Structure 1
Amino acid sequence: MKKRVGVIGTGLIATGLIRLLSTQEDLCVSGILTRRKIAEMKGYPKEELLTNSAEELIDGADIIVECSGDVLHGSEVIEEAMNASLPVVTMNAELQVTTGSYFAAKGIFTEAEGDQPGCLAKLDEEVRQMGFKPVVYGNIKGFLNQNPTEEDMRYWSQRNGTSLGMTTSFTDGTKVHIEQVLVGNGLGADISDHGILGLKADDSRSGGEQLAETAEKEGRVLSDYILSGSLPPGVFITARHEEEQQDTLRYYKLGEGPYYTLQTNYHLCHLEILKTIRRVIAGGGILLNNSTSPRLSVAAVAKQNLAAGTNIAHGIGSFEFRGEAVRINDEPSHVPIGLLRNAVLKRPMEEGEMVRFSDIDLPDSFALHVWKKILNEQVAHAAK
């Protein structure tokens, strides 16, 4: 009997996944949760399965896949699904780094392969099985502009078929900071004392070695990225191995050591979600989550000078804010950028300033309550 997959979201990733699930012999789409008007979605794949009811979605599913891209809405529905004892797979790193640690303590809740964090988690499993000891978990980013213009972002959004917010968060660095915070929390890594470095590098080996030198100088495993316009959009791990393997690893074309870089040259988003769905169904356990005791978060930082009373529709992918990785204990009053929705600034802010809870009026939400719970637990844990 086919396992029934309920999908939250109808965006780029969700739509691709729904089409793919419709061709599988062991899996099927059982429901698709959307907040759009169903009557206006004629021609959508499996339109007969569209619903505006989270309860209906959950009642008909064996497993839930959340890929709405919305932190607040996604958190509310995941809470209902996990209260119904359903396993949840996400491709929503934004949600993971905001409320994911709460869900990690509730049951089976895992990020999927396909986006960079899940691909790094899978690569981590593989390199550790071969005896490597990771020093750097690396993402490969092709372009960075921390304050792009709306005109440019609209052009690239239309050209690539992605939303304006998604395009902007990719460009201004918010997305890669979110991804590497999830990797850091989930795989036990950290950021540098100088924050995420994002070194320019012609290849992952040289970039990985530079990051590894910083990691060992600071005495930590780093979650970071390199910036290269010529490399494929994959992930890499730079690691050490036992000294007696050095000659063999040289023969295997991994270099002279002591650092060895292993790379995955692709991440195929919705296509790879199937692997994680099957992993969970088969009892393979969690691939990656934000851990139950996160040390890292993604703060909202102003991209421009902003006046008191400014209305902020959303932080991620906006032209007012970008996300920056921080240690929670260093910045306990920061506002996670995933919570920055329908908010109002209480005071003027200057470009480069980090938003704190005292600076802003945030509407009440389930996600906000969850974050406060996570923060209180983390502060208490650090005080022990």
Structure 2
Amino acid sequence: MNFTSPFSLALGAIIVLSLLGVPVGQAMIGGSILYLYLKGMDMGTAAEQLLNGTYQSFLLLAIPLFILAATIMSSGSVMDRLMRFCNAIVGRFPGGLAQVNVLQSIVFASMSGSALADAAGSGKLMQVMMTKDGKYTPGFAAALTAASSVIGPILPPSIPLVLYALVSGTSIGYLFLAGVLPGLLLGGVMMVLIHYLAKRRKFPVEPPVPLREMPRITREAFPALMLPVVLLGCLYTGVTTPTEAAGLAAAYALLISVALYRSIGWRDIHDALMSSARISISIGILIAGALVFNYVITVENIPASLSSLLATFNLSPLGFLLLVNLLLLGLGCFLEGSTIILVILPVLLPTATALGVDPVHFGLVAVLNIMIGLVTPPYGLLLFMMTKIANVSLTVLVVEMVPFLVVMIGTLALVTLWPDMVLFIPRLAGYSG
């Protein structure tokens, strides 16, 4: 590799700018402009790629709308109703509140699509509930909250899968369906692990909710639980596009919060809009930077060069996926997930296609890898978030995280080795892959 080539210098500029605290998206734009300058190309090409990429993709509008729906549903009494419902279902089992933590992540996944949003919203509430009266240690509660938050972006709707659909051209509808079984499997193995740990560490059991209370609790939570039904129903019946379905989800969340539950006012709506805007802008800048840098990667012909290099190893599709697992698990320890999806995956996709790897299966394997990276030391973002929320040391949190990492990596291995589990539901919906 020539370390004085325009590409090497541009890559070095991106790394240096990031280390200096410049947001990754802006660092990628700066490095890309440097590359264009050194190559003697029109630097206005950066703006052209940015504008064309952002304004020609209708799918991108789904991201702020999903974020808005999740923010609204997190406000007011909606989350309390969902928590009571989850507690009524699994609170009576060993490790009651820990089981509730996992179940609420599965339920909240239908509204969030973001692991960080899950941890910051419902996860913060679960941390308080679990550590109250010393029921669970802060370290275990924080580790469980971080681990269960990973489930959200696997189940639909999923912001990482929307980003993958953007860079791969894969149907977002089939990707959403493909995440159902892996997401439920991940939640299931975590609940089995909690059952084992609860017996071993003598975790408390919550008082069972009387059966006579179940209809009332279910009735109160039912409108919120219907959000994924409305979303996926409109999407898979062809009534709406994915972006329109996201808009409908946001409208539905607003309707039940204001008109039915009467749990939020104008001030709450304003705060939800501002919070959603801030999150959407941060993601938007990252996407813009990735679009410009991907142009540089295309000019350098890096995807084709990588494909040629890997072809010399004569990898099978399974061997390639195992190599991708190792690469993404390693990168996930240091890079933010959206950056990996927008920058690294477009480089790997041509090789996956050439080897006959199904793009939907590849997307689920990649996103699951990236989500595990969020809870992997030394730089997992969820780890840092939970150290602040739970006020525990990173060392304590990592120690408690080890059993969850084991079952997550086991789930990843199963998803990698068994493509039919990922593709079963999409095929029922007409997917031909």
TM-score, normalisation: structure 2: 0.24
Q: Which has the higher helix share?
A: 2
Q: Which has the higher strand share?
A: 1
TM-score, normalisation: structure 1: 0.26
Larger Rg: 2
- Which structure has more relative contact order (CA 8 Å, sep 6+)? It is 2
